[in-house]
Amino acid sequence: MNSLLYRFVYRHMIKKKSKESFIAFKEALKFRRTSWQLWENYSHVAMDIGNFTQALEATKMVLDLTGNKRVDAGLLEKIMLLIEDRTSKPTDKSSNGVGDNSSMMPHDESRFQEGNESSREAELLFNMVGNILQQTIRSGGCENIWGLYARWYKIKGNLTMCAEALLKQVRSHQGSDLWHDQDRFRKFACASLQLCKVYMEIASSTGSRQELLMAEMHLRNSIKQGINFVDTDEFKDLQLCLDETRSMLPMTSEIF
């Protein structure tokens, strides 16, 4: 890419003209398709203008060009929140049942179509995010990526794999300085709570006590070793979660 085009691209970024930047980056990438820096900046301006599929495609290019070593977890977090928001909203249904919109008024039908389009986009984004996360994890994955992967599996409805990803996230926070670093402990405790909540959800749906016993053991050990942080909200949340876990044990089966 010549220096004139390079300056043109970044001038728009500095002025925060996202639409102009998007067009400029798209043009620049015709000349420098192997520049992961350009692709990464392109993903940011694509996000700014709401072109989420292009943002993810650019993120995938960065991953490919850097040998799976660089991924924008912050961008994936924003798109995951969008997916979670869209998938949590019920789709519009007519009184005659799902898919029967024959009795809809024109404005109702328009809303129904918009809802379907939003669902289709959410599904596309969901699949794209999943592919990026899986590619990243094949080369290791940090705690943020494991957390996103867990949320991806929860949306998918696979609580077992969700728990496995959360367990990896919890382990990524562990280390010799965990019990002496309050910020690290907070992150560890939050991930632990999410893990144990999923264990409890699995136990509630299956009636098995195996997951509850794993949650109890993890919480008990975390509370014992985290005594230096007894005054933090996270420590208290771990204690409450342990009480809740123990209260569920009598309601589960001995067989697992």
Q: Look up the CATH number of the domain holding residue 3.
A: 1.25.40
Q: Is the dihedral angle over the CA atoms 91, 97, 101, 105 positive or is it negative?
A: negative
SS3 253: strand
Q: Which domain holds residue 159?
A: 143-256
The Cα 99–Cα 56 span in angstroms is 30
| 116 and 64 within one domain | yes
SS3 97: strand
| 125 and 198 within one domain | no
The Cα 67–Cα 61 span in angstroms is 10
State percent of the chain over pLDDT 90: 66
Residues 9, 39: contact at Cβ < 8 Å?
no
Is the pLDDT at 38 greater than 80? The verdict is: yes
| 147 and 48 within one domain | no
Instruction: Tell me the whole-structure pTM to 2 decimals.
Output: 0.82
φ/ψ (deg, to 5) at 222: -65, -40
| 92 and 42 within one domain | yes
- Average per-residue pLDDT in the chain? 85
Residue 153 buriedness (CB in 10 A; 0-12 / 13-18 / 19+): buried
Is the pLDDT at 109 greater than 70? The verdict is: no
Tell me which of 121, 141, 161 is where a domain ends.
141
- Convert 214-242 to b/e letters by CB count within 10 Å (16 or more is b): bbbebbeebbeebeebeeeebbeebeebb
Residue 24: its pLDDT value, please?
83
Tell me which of 118, 141, 164 is where a domain ends.
141
Is the pLDDT at 16 greater than 50? The verdict is: yes
Our count of domains for the chain comes to 2
Tell me which of 90, 125, 141 is where a domain ends.
141
Residue 141: its pLDDT value, please?
78
Decide which of 21 and 3 is more confident. Answer: 21
Residues 22, 49: contact at Cβ < 8 Å?
yes
- Length of the chain as a residue count: 256
| 130 and 159 within one domain | no
| 233 and 164 within one domain | yes
| 178 and 205 within one domain | yes
| 137 and 16 within one domain | yes
Is the pLDDT at 150 greater than 70? The verdict is: yes
| 77 and 59 within one domain | yes
Residue that is written with structure tokens 């009636």 in the block: 207
Is the pLDDT at 255 greater than 50? The verdict is: no
Residue 256: its pLDDT value, please?
42
| 12 and 135 within one domain | yes
Decide which of 141 and 234 is more confident. Answer: 234
Is the pLDDT at 142 greater than 70? The verdict is: yes
Residues 56, 132: contact at Cβ < 8 Å?
yes
- pLDDT tens-place string over residues 174-215: 988 999 999 999 999 999 999 999 999 999 999 889 999 999
H/E segment holding residue 169:
helix 159-173
Residue 151: its pLDDT value, please?
97
Is the pLDDT at 168 greater than 50? The verdict is: yes
| 96 and 9 within one domain | yes
N-to-C CA span, the chain:
62
φ/ψ (deg, to 5) at 145: -65, -40
Alpha helices in 31-158 (DSSP H): 36-48, 52-65, 73-88, 106-137, 143-156
Average pLDDT estimate for 141-151:
94
Residues 174, 187: contact at Cβ < 8 Å?
no
| 106 and 3 within one domain | yes
Per the DSSP assignment, residues forming a β-bridge with 253 are 208
Tell me the one-letter amino acid at 110: S
Residue that is written with structure tokens 């390079």 in the block: 6
Residue 247: its pLDDT value, please?
95
The Cα 186–Cα 173 span in angstroms is 10
